[in-house]
Amino acid sequence: MLKTKRMSRVSIVGSKTVMTGVISELYDMNLLHIDDYVKKDDAESDGFDIGSPLEESGKISETLVKLRSLESHLPKIKGQASKHEDISDVDVKISKIEAEVIEKIDEMTSVDDARAKLEGQLSELEVVSCLSLSLDVFCEYDSLKYFVGYVRDTSFEAKIKKITKKCNVYTGMHGKKLVAGVFVDKEKGDEVQTLLNESGFSEINTSGFLELSGSVDVMIDETESKIKKLDDAKEKINRELAKISEKWGAYIKSNEETLSCEAEKAEVPLRFSVSDNAFVVKGWIPAEKFNMMDKRLQDVSTGKIFVKKYEVVGNAPIELENKGPAKSFGFFMDLYSLPSYKEIDPTFFMFLMFPVFFGFMLGDWGYGVLTLIIFTLLKFKVPKAKDILNVLIIASISTIVFGLLYDEFFGIELFHEMGIHFPHLLTRSNSAGASMLIVYALGLGILHIAAGYLIGFVNELREHGLKAAILEKLSWIVYMAGFFPVLLGFFGMIPSVPSYCYGLLVVGGVMIVWGEGIKGALELISPLTNVLSYARLMAVGLASVILAEVVNEMAHPMFHAGVAGAIMGMVVLVAGHSVNICLGLMSPFIHSMRLHYVEFFLKFYHGGGKKYLPFGQRES
């Protein structure tokens, strides 16, 4: 639980004649995390080079591209998986399906292009319809020039007539915008163009009208009719694609999955080193699986293979080994950084303390029950979010527990209001209770940070020996054991400070400076700032309960103002508490995570582990 899965480094050497069989067996076992071969200088390569894909790789990749293209173009694929077929048979069938689908896609593209053109034309027709002009006027003239568009300055017509008397101006409103059609003597066209631009003119493209004639309104009806026919044609094509999907969808999906596996097998020699007659693959497997893997490879290769296990040197790939509820908290390690191979895995400590911090802050059993129900239902609806939802379910249970300790139910001291005697172990309803919560929060902080240094002591002991572990980690625990009592005594918060606390302070400080030098000396005040950060446990929770009380106080008078008031009161309660729950989930989650990542992890955690990704592992 506190260690990652033990790994063994292995080297597999075999004849190239059995390489294909060995690859298939390794894929089926789903155990070997392969280290890619990096070619050395020719002098050091001993005749080995990077391997080449298997012979069938090109055909598999080509067919796989076709399958994925079909999957992207067809409607959602449903149905049972079909049986696996030979790659050549699959390619023949897929080529026929592809030709049919491409034909439909081309038809769809033509329909979409035609529809887009008609949509643009319809938009322009609707604008010029307010001018009450025939489409016949929008043609090429020898002596006239015309402009059609939106214009901002309503006095533009008078200004045009000052330039030329040979003009006709037509106006109308399209929505809230003024539309103008201006026909002028061609010789004055440039001057009128300049004037219109100064009047805020925005031209409408009427070039498409050259091929049209007759009434604008009639043409609008015809255009809408054409668009409707195109929509019907597109719907027909979609139905035909749906039929193809229904007939061949399961076949396509099944073979895409199968060929994805085959492609991975065919390309994996690129990660091997090979010579003319042999191949070598190196990597990592769980230590307890070595004998089983060795036996299976010997069987499949009829003894033409040699498997060797090496002592672990450096960082092995990491697979977290947490069980039960703690397993879901591995989500936080993936989000941050996996531990290095020899480090203690802190997942279990997050499982212990994250819900405590979360419940300490949210601490309302009404909110806890509601979020517990929501997250439990979501767990079945969204299985891919299982880990984070499991974390939130446990956090909701913690919220219920702290809510009962606080006697808070949607911001109300429910047991007190009902006259039920319930032991008030904690409270946020008065200043004395809030002050005690600060003490508890800071006390939790001291214990949490001390635990971080204790874990760091174990890590340093493993990595660098007893001296480094004592001077760099245990020294801080000794220092803190003296620092905080002396600090409290200095401010008169405790009646007296035991004399040994001064000794612990001095001894711990000397050990820190001895072990960490000037860096340690500069950080001697850091325990205070670290611990004060835990005051957020009380502050965030207090903000949540105050907001809940404000919502209740706003809604309460409304319930005494008739039916309408009662309805409004319910709306205020639901909306207010919904907002508070959202804030109450987000803020405790972020702050709990921060206290672990920043205050806790920095005391011991190096991280940087690489994830264990065995060859043959498929996404769930």
Q: Which amino acid is at 571?
A: V
**How confident is the model over 311-332, as a mean pLDDT?**
88
Q: Are 297 and 25 in contact (CB under 8 A)?
A: yes
| pLDDT confidence of residue 498 | 87
Selection from 455, 445, 474 nearest residue 349 by Cα = 455
Least confident of 80-94, 471-485, 507-521: 80-94
Residue by residue, DSSP assigns 148-183 as EEE-S-TTHHHHHHHH-SSEEEEEEEETTEEEEEEE
With a CB cutoff of 8 Å and minimum separation 6, the contacts of 562 are none
Cα-based torsion angle of the residue sequence 368, 374, 377, 382 in order, rounded to the nearest 10 degrees: -120
* Domain layout of the chain by residue ranges: 116-225, 329-416+439-603
Q: State how far the Cα of 423 lies from the Cα of 426, in Å rounded to an integer.
A: 9
Beta bridge partners of 13: 280, 306
With a CB cutoff of 8 Å and minimum separation 6, the contacts of 224 are 122
Selection from 361, 351, 444, 354 nearest residue 403 by Cα = 361
Q: What's the gap between Cα 203 and its chain centre?
A: 46
Q: Are 177 and 152 in contact (CB under 8 A)?
A: no
Q: State how far the Cα of 96 lies from the Cα of 66, in Å rounded to an integer.
A: 11
Token pair of 1 as six digits: 């639980």
Tens digits of residue pLDDT in 368-395: 999 999 999 999 999 889 999 999 999 9
| pLDDT confidence of residue 77 | 64
Q: Are 329 and 354 in contact (CB under 8 A)?
A: yes
Task: Answer whether residue 247 shows pLDDT above 70.
Answer: yes
Task: Answer whether residue 143 shows pLDDT above 90.
Answer: no
Selection from 375, 419, 306, 336 nearest residue 13 by Cα = 306
Q: State how far the Cα of 149 lies from the Cα of 144, in Å rounded to an integer.
A: 17
| pLDDT confidence of residue 161 | 87
Per DSSP, 147 falls in state E
Calculate ∠ Cα 142-144-146, nearest 5°.
130
Task: Answer whether residue 45 shows pLDDT above 80.
Answer: no
Q: State how far the Cα of 408 lies from the Cα of 363, in Å rounded to an integer.
A: 7
Task: Answer whether residue 575 shows pLDDT above 60.
Answer: yes
Handedness of CA 359, 364, 366, 371 (dihedral sign): negative
| pLDDT confidence of residue 255 | 86
Beta bridge partners of 281: 12
Burial of residue 35 (CB within 10 Å: 0-12, 13-18, 19+) is middle
Task: Answer whether residue 422 shows pLDDT above 70.
Answer: no
Token pair of 87 as six digits: 């790659």
Residue written as token pair 């214009």:
151
Burial of residue 82 (CB within 10 Å: 0-12, 13-18, 19+) is middle
Q: Residues of 465-493 as b/e, b for ≥16 C-beta within 10 angstroms?
A: eeeebbbbbbbbbbbbbbbbbebebeeee
Residue by residue, DSSP assigns 75-116 as SPP-SPPPPP--HHHHHHHHHHHHHHHHHHHHHHHHHHHHHH
**How confident is the model over 229-249, as a mean pLDDT?**
91
Tens digits of residue pLDDT in 274-302: 998 999 999 999 999 999 999 999 999 98
Q: How far is CA 194 from CA 147, 154, 157, 159, 570, in A?
A: 12, 16, 13, 11, 62
Tens digits of residue pLDDT in 76-102: 766 555 566 677 788 888 888 889 999
How many other C-beta atoms lie within 10 A of the C-beta of residue 143? 8
Q: What's the gap between Cα 272 and its chain centre?
A: 33
Task: Answer whether residue 43 shows pLDDT above 60.
Answer: no
Tens digits of residue pLDDT in 602-618: 999 998 899 999 999 87
Residue by residue, DSSP assigns 239-294 as HHHHHHHHHHHHHHHHHHHHHHHHHHHHHGGGGSEE-SSEEEEEEEEEGGGHHHHH
**CA-atom Rg of the chain in angstroms:** 38
Q: Are 181 and 131 in contact (CB under 8 A)?
A: yes
Instruction: Identify the band that residue 553 occupies on the pLDDT scale cut at 50, 70 and 90.
Output: confident
Q: Which residue has the higher pLDDT, 438 or 619?
A: 438
Q: State how far the Cα of 571 lies from the Cα of 3, in Å rounded to an integer.
A: 51
Handedness of CA 439, 443, 444, 449 (dihedral sign): positive
Residue written as token pair 């009719």:
225
Per CATH, the architecture of 116-225 is what? 2-Layer Sandwich (3.30)
Q: Are 591 and 357 in contact (CB under 8 A)?
A: yes
The bridge status of strand 273-274 relative to strand 49-50 is: antiparallel
Least confident of 43-57, 204-218, 283-297: 43-57
| pLDDT confidence of residue 493 | 78
Burial of residue 450 (CB within 10 Å: 0-12, 13-18, 19+) is middle
Beta bridge partners of 179: 150, 172
Q: State how far the Cα of 463 lies from the Cα of 401, in Å rounded to an integer.
A: 40
